[in-house]
Amino acid sequence: MTAASYAAVDWGTSSFRLWIVSESGEVLAERRSGEGMTTAAKTGFSSILETHLAAVSAPPHLPVVICGMAGARQGWVEAGYLDTPAPLTGIVKAAVTVTDANRDIRILPGLAQRSEAAPDVMRGEETQLLGALSRLGSGSHLVCMPGTHSKWVRVTGGIVDGFSTFMTGELFDVISKHSILSHAVTDGGSFDADDPVFLSAVAKAAKCPALATNLVFAVRSGQLLHELSAQAAKARLSGTLIGLEIAGALSTAKPGSGVCLVASGALAGLYQSALSALDLKPVIIDADEAVRHGLAAAANAIWPA
């Protein structure tokens, strides 16, 4: 693999993704596993990385750029945070070097919003933002990156003005498994992104966010009184939580901001439908492509050809 230029790694809490990239930007090899920070903190970050590099016959001394939880306090080497407002290109300058005799390894920092009124942090999503930067253009943008902890980022001219985290995915998991609503959604199968129950719940929650906990309970009462199926109950709960998230995020946006959705898989479909139900037409960017492009931008800045 003599054409390899660098390895790019997105290291999450429970996931590991690695790409071997050529000088021209072509992906030569890819590896994915469940060896996230939680596993690596026990078994060793270096050994996991080297195992995956060896599996694709990566050249000795190939440099590696990493984003995500490898830079957390409990990670490999703490990369700290860049404080907002911050230019996205600034994360490259703040990269931390890992002491390693064989490779040049850099870990990108996260972003922190240190306001006492709205403290917030992100790690990994800042690299997706860097990768999406070329698609955002000028002006103000509200960038949605859904997940277990969804991030909504306010970006103006390449500068992150601020952001908000919404625990939508985690709340859905907790409520559906450990609350009285578990009786309503148990055995509920998957639903389509254009499910009318889902879309109706999105619209209602976005219009009346002050009724949040009442709308959530209606998932249970709707089943008891109106024979709502487990699948429909699941769709209503999901739509309610996503609608509340969108309402909260929009309340922080600058007037006239464009909306951008950085997502992939099933979440991309759900959020695109939810935004469309609220008459919002986001720019869609694939999350995997965004993080690869962000890591590429960082690698090209750190190791110019």
d(CA 134, CA 207): 33
Residue located via tokens 């992939």: 264
Co-location of 101 and 174 in the same domain: no
Q: What is the CATH number of the domain that holds 215?
A: 3.30.420.310
Mean pLDDT, range 15-32, rounded to an integer: 95
CA distance to 19, 220, 282, 283, per residue, from 67 (Å): 12, 41, 26, 24
Under DSSP, the state recorded for 168 is H
In tens, the pLDDT along 131-180 reads 999 888 788 999 999 999 999 999 999 999 999 999 999 999 999 999 99
* Domain assignment of residue 231, yes or no: yes
Task: Tell me how many domains the chain contains.
Answer: 2
Co-location of 106 and 21 in the same domain: yes
Which domain, by its residues, includes 103? 4-123
**Residue 4 C-beta-side C-alpha neighbours within 13 Å:** 20
d(CA 296, CA 292): 6
* Domain assignment of residue 301, yes or no: no
Identify the pLDDT of residue 154. 97
Mean pLDDT, range 256-280, rounded to an integer: 96
In tens, the pLDDT along 232-254 reads 999 999 999 999 999 999 999 99
DSSP β-ladder status, 159-166 and 86-87: antiparallel
Q: Residue 98 forms beta bridges with which residues?
A: 105
Given a cut of 80, whether residue 2 has pLDDT beyond it is: no
Contact between residue 108 and residue 227 where contact means Cβ atoms under 8 Å apart: no
Mean pLDDT, range 46-54, rounded to an integer: 97
Encode burial over 140-164: b for 16+ CB neighbours within 10 A, e otherwise: bbbbbbbbebbbbbbbeebebbbbb
Co-location of 106 and 43 in the same domain: yes
* Domain assignment of residue 160, yes or no: no
d(CA 69, CA 74): 8
- Residue type, position 263, single letter: A
Q: Which residue among 97, 123, 149 closes a domain?
A: 123
**Residue 146 C-beta-side C-alpha neighbours within 13 Å:** 26
* Domain assignment of residue 134, yes or no: no
Co-location of 17 and 119 in the same domain: yes
- In order, the DSSP letters of 203-241 are HHHHH-GGGHHHHHHHHHHHHHHH---HHHHHHHHHHHH
